[in-house]
Amino acid sequence: MKGRQRLATRSIAATLTLAMSAMSVMAAEPAETPSYLPSVGCIIEPSVRIEVSSPVEGVLEQRPIKLGEDVKKGQLLFSLRSDVEKASVELARIRAEFALRHYQRNDDLYQDELISVHERDEFQTDYQVTLKELQQSEAILGLRSVVSTIDGVVVDYFVESGEFVTTEPVMALATLDPLEVEVVMPYSSLGSVGPTDVLTVFPVEPVGGEYRAAVTLIDPVIDAASGTYRIRALIDNPRRRLPAGVECKVGKG
């Protein structure tokens, strides 16, 4: 009886050993490898990147936004010293106000038939000229303040406060939501991706993960030298969880 119990115990132990070995083999098997498109290169970039310059030369006075901060369309990016331009606006405003009073007084005289129509027209013309001079001065002053044309983030500065600014870029902005994926594909794969397809993007480690990207462009021109063409797609990137400048691989669907 005891012999049979020992045999049964050994049988159970052997069964458990085989089961554990099988589980170890299963755990060691690699996860299913994604089916990648045969891309030559793939990178995740800002969907928009612009370098901002000043339309006029001058000394950089104010740089209110720090590197890495968000900006909104229409927000002030930087301004140049403008003491002379501000004084010109004030002078033009004073002249316009005086010309208006002068015109109004003489218009009363015209109503009383004390001055001619020609004289009244001269006063009116003087007032209109001073208004245009005021608008011109305000426009010149406005050129010394530059606002953002996009929603984005400040990614670079090329000039420090107090430096002389020319027509060279002062700063760079980038839009990080959405991000753009640019994929370089061999000519042999032409037609494998359609304009309405959605790609699966796999950023390289240590970023990792999977992201969906809607195709926005399939390059209609093949680069004859390399035998490649480009595909572009957009990734929604709320809270900027995915960094730009990362290499990647892509799969379809």
pTM of the full predicted structure? 0.73
Correct CATH for 41-80+146-252 of 3.30.70.940, 2.40.30.170, 3.90.550.10, 3.30.9.10: 2.40.30.170
Q: Mean pLDDT over residues 117-146, rounded? A: 90
Segment 171-200, tens digit of pLDDT: 999 999 999 999 999 999 999 999 999 999
Q: Which amino acid is at 139?
A: A
- Residues 42, 4: Cα–Cα separation, whole Å: 66
Domain ranges of the chain: 41-80+146-252, 83-143
Highest mean pLDDT among 60-69, 96-105, 140-149: 140-149
Q: Does residue 237 register a pLDDT over 70?
A: yes
The DSSP 8-state label assigned to residue 162 in this structure reads: T
pLDDT, residue 24, reads 42
pLDDT, residue 112, reads 58
At the top level of CATH, which class does the domain 83-143 belong to?
Answer: mainly alpha
Q: Which range among 59-63, 110-114, 127-131, 190-194 shows the weakest confidence by mean pLDDT?
A: 110-114
Q: Mean pLDDT over residues 85-92, rounded? A: 97
Q: Which amino acid is at 71?
A: V
- On whether the CB atoms of residues 175 and 151 are closer than 8 A, the answer is yes
At 132, which helix (H) or strand (E)? Answer: helix 117-142
Token representation of residue 79: 């301004």
